[in-house]
Amino acid sequence: MPKTTLSREEIRSLARLSPFELKDAFIALARNAQSDKPGQKGKTTRAMLNAGRGNPNWVATGPREAYHALGYFALSESRRVWTADNLGGMPEEEGSADRFDSFVRTHPELPGIELLKASFDLAVKRFGFDRDAFVHEMADSSIGDNYPVPERILRHTEEIVRGYVTDEMFDHRPPENQTLSLFATEGGTAAMCYVFDSLTKNGILRKGDRIALMVPVFTPYLEIPELDTYEFDVVHVEANLFTETGVRQWRYPPEEIAKLADPAVKLVCCVNPSNPPSLALAPHVAEQIVSIVAEENPNLIVVTDDVYGTFVEGFRSLAADLPRNTLLVYSYSKHYGATGWRLGVIGLHDDNVIDAMLAARGPNEKARLNKRYGTLSPEPEKIRFIDRLVADSRQVALNHTAGLSLPQQVMMSLFSLFDMLDEGQAYKHRIRAIVRQRLDLLLEGVHMKVSEDPKRAAYYIELDLLAEAERVHGKPFADFLEKNYEPVDPLFRLAEQTSVVLLNGGGFDGPEWSVRVSLANLDDLDYLKIGHHLRAIFNEYAEEWKAR
């Protein structure tokens, strides 16, 4: 069996690509190898197993059924106002709650109607909503007949999502005497873009400023700071601890976190739980960061991307422990199997260092920013940063048409309310069990161990092949691999020999010889197969080393 048809020079050239672009090369090799048997040209002889991307293969069906049930009620509200063939009117608020109750009673057969009623009842009870106002907002928004008002997020949606964040990101313990304001965005991707852009537009960050990245990390956090728009001076805070048995822990030692104490570091980006290692920050690391902010770097801005937080029991975001310094980014995509919905939020507590910095700006800088935002308010200097994010997302001039589409905000509300019900909690534990089962099967197949860690989300796993080489066969074998092969060589072999697609951990600023496996997007037993294939490739290198 050939090792790979590509030369070392070709592999080295391709390795310069982003891992998500390099993935396309692996997919092409894997597809070509699917029909490599004589007489089978053009016919698939084995399945391609692509564990390179984190799009989950599950969906939350209950809240989606509730969403569609709401749509039928909303259309009945529209037809009540105006009916002419395919033409309806805008739903009315007065009496909408009573009409909803009647609709539920007369449509017991409609899928999702009982969950929708339970969700609405919970919202009114927990948040004290006026029933007519809430039901009308949800019904009217579901048919998308208005611009978002307020632009940042709907009033009832913000209360609901704040409750969800309190439950799942803050472990039911929100910071005292603080209110979290939210901006609904087109997924976590848009949130990342808006945060970097608006911090720069407002002069909080300037080209060449020093920022820190806690690595390994989702690749865009590595690539955005190097764009010519920013050209930040980037400090890497590395998770480089090992266990006594030589297994990589993917944990941050105190001396790495201590890099944040430098007052020149203006911002730190953290994916928590991490991507790809998929571990939530240890409590002592969070405590060290809190201490650094309190004693040495009080204006440090923390951007925490907590999309995988729901996969860790008792997860608590840095935004809860450092409410004044932290911008929270969250996406519903992974938990609910909703990458296509593009649902995310940016959260910022009302008392925060960014607004304090803006208030302390000198007269020239205030004049510049007042000119930028002057069309939005007679007192533009009083516009909060969370609202500047909204305006900047639409080049300020289109602020009046900004905001996430209303049907998307309704789905976000229903996902959040579902989580507050017993059914949603059962769903959460079920998907946690799915990824852990897949991790166990992968490790069984590859004959590797990972450190026991109660903060493991297990949405991804990053396996350090060089550390494994040294652990199993000693440093001479590891040195042989580094001397004779490119770090991504195992991934090319996997694709070509087995039609398995993984991503290179080095592309996430992890160890160059590590591989990243998504545990979310394939069937359970596929992970056992991937493990077997990865171990076979590993053993192939060992045989080459022994045969020298």
Residues 402-430: what's their mean pLDDT?
A: 98
534, 493 contact by CB (below 8 A): no
| Predicted pLDDT of residue 1 | 38
pLDDT tens string 402-411: 999 999 999 9
pLDDT above 50: residue 2: no
**Residue appearing with tokens 């496996």:** 517
| Predicted pLDDT of residue 533 | 96
pLDDT tens string 94-120: 999 999 999 999 999 999 999 999 999
374, 362 contact by CB (below 8 A): no
Pairing of strands 265-271, 301-305: parallel
pLDDT tens string 151-195: 999 999 999 999 999 999 999 999 999 999 999 999 999 999 999
462, 216 contact by CB (below 8 A): yes
Q: Is 422 exposed, middle or buried (0-12, 13-18, 19+ CB in 10 A)?
A: exposed
pLDDT above 80: residue 41: no
Count the alpha carbons within 13 Å of 118 in the hemisphere toward its beta carbon: 18
Q: How confident is the model at residue 20 (pLDDT cuts 50, 70, 90)?
A: confident
C-alpha–C-alpha distance, residues 29 and 319, integer Å? 43
Cβ-based neighbours of 51, under 8 Å, separated by 6 or more: 500, 501, 502, 517, 518, 519, 521, 522, 526, 527, 530
pLDDT above 70: residue 356: yes
Closest alpha carbon to 237 in 221, 271, 214, 265: 214
C-alpha–C-alpha distance, residues 302 and 392, integer Å? 20
C-alpha–C-alpha distance, residues 276 and 52, integer Å? 11
- In 61-196, beta strands by DSSP E: 180-185
pLDDT tens string 281-307: 999 999 999 999 999 999 999 999 999
Provide, rounded to the nearest whole percent, the portion of the chain with pLDDT above 70.
Answer: 97
| Predicted pLDDT of residue 3 | 80
pLDDT above 70: residue 125: yes
pLDDT tens string 511-533: 999 999 999 999 999 999 999 99
pLDDT tens string 140-150: 999 999 999 99
Provide, rounded to the nearest whole percent, the portion of the chain with pLDDT above 90.
Answer: 88
C-alpha–C-alpha distance, residues 165 and 347, integer Å? 9
| Predicted pLDDT of residue 44 | 53
C-alpha–C-alpha distance, residues 548 and 539, integer Å? 15
C-alpha–C-alpha distance, residues 35 and 44, integer Å? 5
pTM of the predicted model over 0.85: yes
Q: Is 524 exposed, middle or buried (0-12, 13-18, 19+ CB in 10 A)?
A: middle
CB atoms within 10 A of CB 354: 22
C-alpha–C-alpha distance, residues 404 and 344, integer Å? 9
Q: In what order do the strands lie in the sheet with 326-331?
A: 180-185, 344-349, 326-331, 301-305, 265-271, 210-215, 233-238
CB atoms within 10 A of CB 86: 5
pLDDT above 90: residue 83: no
C-alpha–C-alpha distance, residues 166 and 440, integer Å? 31
For the chain, the average pLDDT equals 94
Pairing of strands 233-238, 49-50: unpaired
| Predicted pLDDT of residue 200 | 97
CA 155 from centre of chain: 24
C-alpha–C-alpha distance, residues 29 and 420, integer Å? 45
pLDDT above 60: residue 40: no
| Predicted pLDDT of residue 29 | 87
Residues 426-431: what's their mean pLDDT?
A: 98
Q: How confident is the model at residue 38 (pLDDT cuts 50, 70, 90)?
A: very low
Amino acid at 184: A
pLDDT tens string 202-233: 999 999 999 999 999 998 999 999 999 999 99
Residues 445-467: what's their mean pLDDT?
A: 95
Count the alpha carbons within 13 Å of 354 in the hemisphere toward its beta carbon: 29
404, 201 contact by CB (below 8 A): no
DSSP labels, 78-89: HHHH--BTTB--
With b meaning 16 or more CB within 10 Å and e meaning fewer, what string describes 25-64? bbbebbeebbeeeeeeeeeeeeebbbbbebebebebebbb
